[in-house]
Amino acid sequence: MERNRTGTVNFYKDFIKETAKNFLMGNAAFQKWRAKRPRAGAYYTGKDEELERYAFLGLNLLRKHVGDVKGKSICEIGAGDYLTSGLSMLAAGATRYAVIDRFPGDYTGSIAKEWYRVISDNWAKTYPEIDWAEDIKAEDFPENYGERLELIKQPIETAKTKSKFDIVCSFQVGEHISDIDAFAEMNKRLMVETGGVALHRVDFGPHDSWFWYKDPLTFLRFSDKVWNLTGSNRGVPNRFRHHQFMDAFERAGFTVEIVYSADFVEQTIDFPRLHPKFQAMPHESMLVGTAIYLLRLK
């Protein structure tokens, strides 16, 4: 995928297009129609990279940065269209899995069932060192596992449950939340006090039309007021930056370890064209394109 779009004409055309999308999402009938469609391009077509992205990414990151999930209870924030990562985590030995999603997907439909089947079929090849848990079967997931599954159908920032979890996690969700302080506090509510951890992968890059621009921070040229015209009715990036997440986590009482980060190519960014709000932010924070945060209570 070549990302080389430039030019004022393209800039304004894309702004108009994204504003029109937002206008449509403000229509109740359109919202209802859109809600019935898969959100993340999550059809399985037989490619290994699809399994890696949509089924195994969360488990792989947890194993790498947190450790073995066997015997752990896990709460994932924003699981996507299907419970693919949930099945993978339970198959790897997790005791319980909860998902927080205000707009849950079709977890029991035919597309979801196909995903669950291929996860099972590809398990031994992908994880030869991990035996598939004997107490879970892909063919009757998730219907027959209500005692081990919890669906929290609430807004991410204010979600509440009586349950506590050993691990709280999210992958490409933090960039869509509206209140990072509320998000940080929610982690504290969900996490067990002794030994609990949270792992969050945040993508600070562009989405939608802005993804194709040579300058990855083109979408930071707008004021907040203008930016909201493109996304007040849909989940566009919130434009919070790396240092703001760090500050929010620390205010909530966490120690924060950055276990992974990747920067934008600095030479592709036209810093003088950013909105003054972003020009005033720490330069090193503006360069962060992706970060994975590991949180522990102080």
- Give the domain ranges of the chain: 38-204+241-297
* Model pLDDT, residue 7: 86
* Model pLDDT, residue 99: 97
- Least trusted range by pLDDT, from 55-64, 117-126, 173-182, 232-241: 232-241
Q: Say whether 158 sits in a helix, a strand or coil.
A: helix
pLDDT at 41 over 60: no
Give φ, ψ of 79 to 5 degrees. Answer: -80, -15
For residue 22, what are its two tokens?
């937002």
Question: Which residues are within 8 A (CB) of 127 and not within 5 positions of it... i.e. 6 or more apart?
Answer: 92
Architecture (CATH level 2) of domain 38-204+241-297: 3-Layer(aba) Sandwich (3.40)
Percent of the chain at pLDDT exceeding 90? 74
The single-letter code of the amino acid at 177 is I
* Model pLDDT, residue 44: 84
Task: Give per-residue burial for 146-158: e unless 16+ CB within 10 Å, then b.
Answer: eebbbebeebbbe
The single-letter code of the amino acid at 231 is G
Give φ, ψ of 127 to 5 degrees. Answer: -130, 70
pLDDT at 40 over 60: no
pTM of the model: 0.92
Other beta carbons within 10 angstroms of residue 99's beta carbon come to 23
pLDDT in tens, 11-25: 889 888 888 887 777
> How far is 51 from 85, CA to CA, in rounded Å?
10
